[in-house]
């Protein structure tokens, strides 16, 4: 058995620069990853199998198609490997929530299959598959802090300190396509210069206004996060609806999580740290 983590992705900053002729958007973003997320388990077997377990399995239970199985099939097509596999996705991240759960799962599947097939993780063909699967999958395949440009697939590494972070989702699904469609098409400029924290602090998320218009619950999440003691930065991630707060001290992060869980027990909260 191979067990591969699929950590949550955050966009500490997300600048939308233009709509492209191919229907995608030209982006500049700061990708970071946290210590927690989903898990993909692969076991060689006599026939293919795919199962989803975990607290958010129900959000994917009806899918006849999944990024995990697409990643499996794309890997096989590229590398000519077709041995039967049993795949179990342990789903702990909310679905369609702006933290790259599906992309992280696909990337973890590619890494696990590469290990099983003795393919180097820096093999360029893996990144080619990742880019075809989705805009966030290349960054998730790399699994470390990156500046992303283009659709997000042109990556440059950058370091970030392991700050405590609190993720909060109000349980509202937001369509990525609808959020991008609501972007006002105003280019507000490039990512700022500096280290990762400077970029985050001086950056923005251009998808936050249209997401908040579609899902006003995001307003309530951010209102609680920004007033937490010791918070350094509170912002929405990706196309929403998950928001995050960065802290200097784990004690302040834990206190904020306790307060939010007491006030809004129906929300999803994850105390973790940047990886």
Q: Classify the phi-psi angles of 132: left when phi > 0, otherwise alpha if psi is within -120 to 50, otherwise beta.
A: alpha
Query: What would the pLDDT profile of 134-152 be if each residue is shown by its tens digit?
Result: 999 999 999 999 999 999 9
Is residue 228 located within the same domain as residue 129?
no
Please give the mean pLDDT across all residues of the chain. Answer: 96
> What's the domain range around 241?
164-273
- Say how many domains are in the chain: 2
Residues 200 and 117 in one domain: no
Q: Is the pLDDT of residue 34 over 60?
A: yes
Query: For the whole model, what pTM was predicted?
Result: 0.95
Residues 94 and 220 in one domain: no
CATH number of domain containing 17? 3.30.230.10
152 and 189 part of one domain: no
Whether residue 213 sits in one domain with residue 104: no
**Same domain, yes or no: 113 and 19:** yes
Examine the domain organization and report whether 188 and 145 are in the same domain.
Answer: no
- The residue out of 119, 141, 157 marking a domain boundary is 157
Question: What are 213-264's pLDDT values in tens digits?
Answer: 999 999 999 999 999 999 999 999 999 999 999 999 999 999 999 999 999 9
- pLDDT tens across 73-94, in order? 999 999 998 899 999 999 999 9
Is 186 found in the same domain as 132? no
What is the CATH classification number for the domain harbouring 249? Answer: 3.30.70.890
Q: Does 131 lie in the same domain as 228? A: no
Catalytic status, residue 105 = no
**143 and 103 share a domain?**
yes
State the catalytic residue, choosing from 38, 105, 136, 206: 136
Confidence at residue 64, expressed as pLDDT on a 0 to 100 scale: 53
pLDDT of residue 13: 98
- pLDDT range class, residue 154, cuts 50, 70, 90: very high
Which position among 9, 90, 206, 252 bears the catalytic label? 9
Asked which of 157, 176, 211 is the last residue of a domain, the reply is: 157
Check if 9 is active-site. yes
Domain end point (choices 97, 126, 157): 157
pLDDT of residue 59: 80
Task: Tell me, yes or no, whether 180 and 148 share the same domain.
Answer: no
Co-location of 15 and 150 in the same domain? yes
Which of 56-60, 64-68, 120-124, 196-200 is least confident?
64-68
């Amino acid at each position: 058995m191979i067990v591969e983590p699929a950590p949550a992705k955050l966009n500490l900053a997300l600048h939308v620069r233009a709509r492209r002729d191919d229907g995608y958007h030209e982006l500049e973003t700061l990708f970071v990853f946290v210590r927690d997320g989903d898990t993909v388990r692969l076991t060689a077997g006599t026939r293919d199998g795919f199962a989803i377990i975990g607290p958010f399995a129900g959000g994917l239970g009806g899918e006849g198609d999944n990024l995990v199985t697409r990643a499996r099939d794309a890997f096989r097509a590229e590398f000519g490997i077709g041995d039967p596999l049993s795949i179990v996705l342990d789903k702990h991240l909310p679905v369609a929530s702006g933290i790259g759960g599906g992309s992280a799962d696909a990337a973890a599947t590619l890494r696990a299959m590469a290990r099983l097939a003795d393919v180097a993780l820096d093999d360029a063909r893996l990144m080619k598959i990742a880019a075809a699967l989705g805009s966030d999958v290349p960054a998730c395949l790399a699994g470390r802090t990156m500046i992303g440009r283009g659709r997000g697939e042109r990556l440059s590494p950058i370091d970030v300190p392991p700050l405590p972070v609190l993720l909060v989702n109000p349980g509202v699904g937001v369509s990525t396509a609808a959020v991008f469609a609501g972007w006002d098409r105003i280019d507000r400029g490039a990512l700022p210069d500096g280290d990762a924290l400077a970029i985050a602090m001086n950056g923005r998320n251009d998808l936050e206004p249209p997401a908040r218009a579609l899902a006003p619950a995001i307003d309530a999440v951010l209102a609680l996060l920004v007033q937490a003691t010791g918070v350094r930065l509170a912002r929405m991630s990706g196309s929403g609806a998950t928001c995050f707060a960065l802290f200097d001290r784990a004690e302040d992060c834990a206190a904020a999580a306790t307060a939010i869980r007491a006030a809004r027990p129906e929300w999803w909260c994850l105390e973790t740290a940047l990886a």
